[in-house]
Amino acid sequence: QAAATPSRAEAPRRAPRARARARARFALRTRRSLSSQRCVVAIAAISKMSADSADFLATVRQTLSPDNALRNAAEKRYEEAKKTQPAAVVAGLFRGLQDAASTEQPLREQAAVLLRRCLDKAKDADSVWTRLGDAGQADVKNGLLQLLEGEQDPKVRRKVADCAQSLGNQLIELLSDQRPVNAEAWPALMPTLMRVICDAGKDAGVRADCLWMMKELTVSVWQVLVASADQSCQVLQRCLGDASDAVRAEAASLLCTLVDNIESRAERKPFAPLIPEVTAAIARLADQPDPKQLNAVLQSMQSTTEMVDFFKANLATHVMPVMSQIAKGHSDEEARKYAFEVIVTFVESKPKLMVKVPNYIEQVMEVCIQFMMNLEDDLTAWAEVNEEEGEMDEDFYTFGKEAVDRVCRCASKVDAFPQVLEVLKAAIAQLFASGAWKQVVAGISALAQIAEYVDDEATVQQMITGVKAQLSASHARVRYAAWGAVAQFSEDHAEAVATDAWAAQLLPEFLKGLDDPCGRVALRCMEAFQHYGEAVEREDLEPFVQPLMEKLGAKLQAGSRFQKKAITFIAVIAGQVEDAFAQYYGALMPLLKQVIQAVLHKVEERTLLGKCFECISLLAKAVGRAGFRADAEAIMEAMIQATRVPNLPSNDPVKEYMMAASERICSTMKEDFVPFVPHILPGVLEKLNLAPRELNTDSVDNFEEGGEVNLTMTHENGKMKVLIMYSSEIQDLKAALECVHTFVEELGRAYAPFVAQTAQALLPVFEFSMAEEIRDLSFETWGQLCGCARQEGQVQIVGELVLEFLKRILPKLEEDEVDVLALKTRADGVTTCLKKAGPGILAAEQVQHLCKLSLKLVGESLQRRAEGLKDRRAQRAAEAAEGAADGIEEDDDEDEGEEQALRVGLCEVAGAIMEHHPDHFAAQGLSDYLSLVQKLVEAGASLDDRKLALFVVCDFVEHLGPRVIAQWEQFMPLLLEDVLNKDAELRQPACYGLSIAAKDPAFSALAARAAEPLARVVTDARGRSKKKSERMAQACADNALSALIEILQHHAPAVAASQAQLWSVWLGGLPCQEDEQEGSRNHGTLLRLLQQERPEVVGEGGQNVPRLLGVLVDVYKTDMVDEDTSKGIGQLALRLGEVRLEQMAAGYTEKQKKKLLRVVREAQSQAS
């Protein structure tokens, strides 16, 4: 497949499909055999060569030589000849192919390979093809067709067919709306292929190769096949019933590829009568002993929505029976996987349709479960596997498990997961009830895979209960699977599994799991704690720290496998209990230092070394700057030495661990970390030079075996280029950016001496096109540099950084070529840069330009949406008129989601300008943006448009203040109206906007009108059940609380009649649930009002204080409060006094009591 990819890249589609993107990304696992390497190596060439045919073939023969010197010399001679005598080289290769009698097969195959390469890049001005001239080109076309028809050797013939299809795909350029009866760029091509295919007297292998070649050409000639649909159907029908397996297989693959390329449902319809014959042909192929042809057909069916749409009427009757039978019982493992992949990709392509197909989901899950039960029986061999060195060969189990996740994910996106869940509930219950270990493992694995998509908390609790029961199962593999599920639930439902009740049940299980008699299960238990421990609150974990540390101490004395997991386990505990872990620091640090010294120069123990650094960085966080200061220099020196060990592999894990550890230590040490920056920063910045490279023969040859490679197709100077980059390199680049970002953020003004060096290193990353998250992180880091320079008072440097950024980014935003994701990233970059740079940076002319540019791009995005909607409506109308519509509309909103995100990002640019240049914006941009708001809320506007209008209005209110009060009447009714909108995505910005507007005295006239619906938002949300899907509703309530308290504080007279009820709603709605910003705002206000002993808050005789103090205790040192509020909570506790605290705590939970003690203890420590 890797070798076939360039041929597609060299033949750009002249009729791009509507769903195609300018850039496609996919991962490729590369595995090369020695034979394929030698096949590719002959792309090079020759220096001097006689015109004599024998000498030429001798040179070609030598390009296959195992003798490096001989082969290299031959390659040089060939290359020189190709440059200077292209026609002679092509003719020589043809002679080698034609002379079957006196030329050995490997040489003829090599000649075909070299000929194909000679004809690559046919459209380039200096290509071999161009230099052949018209007469030479005609000879090549005719010669290829003659060779194809006359060649007897199957291997040589397939390579000739490959050469011909590659050339045809380069030469034939048809637009999507053309329907010619032939491809004029090569008039003899299609008639010749059709003639050979239909000639029953021809060798079946020749006919099969012609069908294969037609399939490969389909991307360029599907219009021709559609123009003669009746004839095409007749040919395919005849071939599907052919006596030859090869002909039937290639015909089936051709049909699948053809319908995949046809955009119009109406034009696919004439081929639908062939479906029963296709599935019958597949069934016959499945009965053959050699699965090669079956697998080729199955691969061609793994495709897109067009494929599913084509087969939809026959899914239950013809497709699923054949596919499920192959997936469940075929003798060839690859065939089973390919058939299952067809089944799953059909669901992914059209989930709404597939859940309506009778018994389809049931059969999918049946296959999934069968795959997941395909486990090795040898428990001893399984237990001895070192997972760091590789898993056992249980591909079917992994495949089935991932398939469950894939089906649930796509069903969830279209709100069809409940139907899938009902199917799975019955299946999982049956698996658990069986009691057989394989069935139970499959059931646990299914629970873990679906956890992410389950919304109802009651169902989640049932699932966790079922998993917990299996932690004590008699079979090691069941316990192992159960710990894996615990880890998954900890990721997907941290709040549910980390409650006081569940912590009390699960933490003792971890103590038992550490002593599991099967070492592999114990390791899995330790891995699960990495996820679970980070979710458990400190007060729940503290009682278990001592017994856990005793067991982990023993694990630290075991082999390196246990040492690595134990160190991570300890790191998690330290990170959770923070200063309470200080008592273990003195004993642990010398031990970790000892391990570091022992393994510092051992390449095979690099992971253990990295985990030591990780653990130390978390210990540093636990003991704080003062506690770690004495060890900081030695640890940082060890980390620097670790990166200088010679002969390290490119994927050395220590580098990533070291950067992450440096981030944590920097966060702990603050400005004390600055002396280490000059030693660490150069190595980190060096990683920013990592960049993709162009895909060519050399890069294919140099693929690391098993390496995961990312590919991106880009257009440059009118040509398409394929760029590649190892996933590990992308991760290294990301880690380096995150490290720099943390340094700048944590050190603030102290990082100023390194701003110029860092800025220079970041510039190349601005053009990184493999992953937008990388470019986004580079832009965010640039913004941090602006903020750093601002803090240091270097306003001139801030201006230079902003100017340099805009100089590089604005031209990209103004380009005609549309890449929505890249535009969004660049818009976000401008926003970040302007926000961090602060006021006084932009001139009025720059503000005007940025406002007009962002509005222009918003308008273009809206226009693209309108055109796409118009096209979809026209297509549906045409399908309805032709009777081809199925009444099921799949959600095709990925593109629109990206467009909406772009529009939001562009409007946030304006928000950044409003924040720091409000006067310039009011003069240069306000009028136009007011017009945009009015346009976005016109009758019939979409939810996305209204939401965007609300976002802009919120920026008006927040940043323009009194400058925009005169315009309130144009948009304030929008905020008031949407407070009670049924869609939470509109309620939230509406509530937020009112919470900001309510700070202004001018809001008094609107206060009473706003208060009642805001109170309803709070009471309705807080009365709802706990579900993932309700989180947005709770976030709305958090914002409504902010608005209510602003009204109560600033407009009390306006709401005098309902003041008591509003105070009750505000107090009853606390604490905030989801929105951290509003949580910090409300909890800070609550603390202040308690300190002031505000009567409405403390209540008569202080009756409200115990509950409200409990609220503050719960949010103490969480993301729902800032540092000042946490400090103030401690001061309030001290002020209340020990006696009163004891009285209040009588009604608290045990967890609250423990946390209150910590609040008091830490407040006393700070006071002293």
Q: Cα(776)–Cα(383) distance, rounded to whole angstroms?
A: 43
| pLDDT 10s digits, 963-1014 | 999 999 999 999 999 999 999 999 999 999 999 999 999 999 999 999 999 9
What pLDDT, on a 0 to 100 scale, did the predictor assign at position 268?
94
What does the pLDDT read at residue 1089? 97
The pLDDT, as a whole number, for residue 949 is: 97
Question: What's the confidence (pLDDT) of residue 66?
Answer: 93
Measured between alpha carbons, how far is residue 64 from residues 88, 107, 640, 835, 902 in Å?
20, 8, 47, 62, 53
Residue 474 has pLDDT above 90, yes or no: yes
Amino acid identity of residue 714, one-letter, is: T
Give the pLDDT confidence score for residue 34 in this predicted structure.
Answer: 27
Token couple for 1148? 């608290």
Q: Predicted confidence band at 417 (pLDDT cuts at 50, 70, 90)?
A: very high
Burial class (CB in 10 A: 0-12, 13-18, 19+), 603: middle
What whole-number percentage of the chain has pLDDT above 90? 76
- Token readout for 145 is 């067709």
Residue 831 pLDDT class (50, 70, 90 cuts): very high
Q: What is the total residue count of the chain?
A: 1168
pLDDT digits (tens, 9 = 90+) for 705-764: 556 778 887 766 666 678 888 888 898 899 999 999 999 999 999 999 999 999 999 999
Q: What is the pLDDT of residue 391?
A: 59
Q: pLDDT (tens digit, 9 = 90+) per residue, 310-355?
A: 999 999 999 999 999 999 999 999 999 999 999 999 999 999 999 9
pLDDT for residue 698: 58
pLDDT at residue 940, as a whole number: 85
The bridge status of strand 693-694 relative to strand 719-726 is antiparallel
pLDDT surpasses 80 at 886: no
- For residue 894, pLDDT over 70 is answered with no
Residue 1022 is predicted with a pLDDT of 95
Read off the tokens for 353: 């349709």
With a CB cutoff of 8 Å and minimum separation 6, the contacts of 981 are 987, 990
> CA triplet 806, 807, 811: central angle to 5 degrees?
95
Predicted confidence at residue 46, as pLDDT, reads 26
The answer on pLDDT for 10 being more than 50 is: no
Q: Which residue has the tokens 């604490």?
A: 1071
Percent of the chain whose pLDDT exceeds 70: 92
Please report the pLDDT score of residue 707 as a whole number. Answer: 62
Does position 801 have pLDDT exceeding 90, yes or no? yes
Among 37-46, 474-483, 1142-1151, the least confident range: 37-46
Peptide linkage before 508 cis (omega within 30 of 0): no
Peptide bond into 1071 cis (omega under 30): yes
Return d(Cα 786, Cα 830) in angstroms, integer. Answer: 12
Q: What is the rounded average pLDDT for all residues in the chain?
A: 90
Q: What is the pLDDT of residue 51?
A: 40
DSSP symbols for 671-737: GGGGGGHHHHHHHHHHGGG---EE--HHHHHTPPTT-EEEEEEEEETTEEEEEEEEHHHHHHHHHHH
Residue 652 pLDDT level (bands cut at 50, 70, 90): confident
Which of the listed ranges 477-486, 596-605, 872-881 does the model predict with the highest average pLDDT?
Answer: 477-486
Per-residue model confidence as pLDDT tens digits over 426-465? 999 999 999 999 999 999 999 999 999 998 889 999 999 9
Per-residue pLDDT at 101: 85
Its pTM stands at 0.82
For residue 71, the one-letter residue type is: R
Q: Give the model's pLDDT for residue 704.
A: 58
More confident residue, 618 or 996: 996
The predicted pLDDT at position 336 comes to: 97
pLDDT at 226 (0 to 100):
96
The pLDDT value recorded for residue 69 is: 94
Task: State the average pLDDT over residues 471-478.
Answer: 97
Does the pLDDT of residue 1113 top 90, yes or no? yes
List CB contacts of 612: < 8 A, sequence separation 6 or more: 567, 592, 595, 596, 599
Could you give phi then psi for residue 117, rounded to 5 degrees?
-70, -30
Give the model's confidence band at 769: pLDDT under 50 very low, under 70 low, under 90 confident, else very high. confident
Q: What is the pLDDT of residues 64-85, one digit of tens each?
A: 999 999 999 999 999 999 999 9
Query: pLDDT by residue (tens digit) across 11-37?
Result: 333 333 333 332 232 232 332 232 233
pLDDT digits 0-9 by tens, 927-951: 999 999 999 999 888 999 999 999 9
pLDDT at residue 1027 in the model: 83
Q: 386-410 pLDDT, tens per residue?
A: 876 555 678 999 999 999 999 999 9
Instruction: Report pLDDT for 699.
Output: 55
Task: Count other C-beta atoms under 10 Å from residue 1107's C-beta.
Answer: 15
What pLDDT shows up at residue 47?
Answer: 29
- Does residue 962 surpass a pLDDT of 60? yes
Band the pLDDT of 600: cuts 50, 70, 90: confident
Q: In angstroms, rounded to a whole number, what is the distance separating the alpha carbons of residues 335 and 441?
A: 25
pLDDT at residue 2 tops 70: no
- Please state at what angle helix 984-997 crosses helix 968-978, rounded to 10 degrees: 130
Q: What is the pLDDT of residue 24?
A: 30
- How many H-runs (helices) and E-runs (strands) does the chain carry? 57, 4
Any idea which residue has 């590089």 for tokens? Answer: 808
pLDDT at position 302 is 85
Provide the pLDDT for residue 888.
Answer: 53
What are the backbone dihedrals phi and psi of residue 366, each rounded to the nearest 5 degrees, phi first? -60, -45
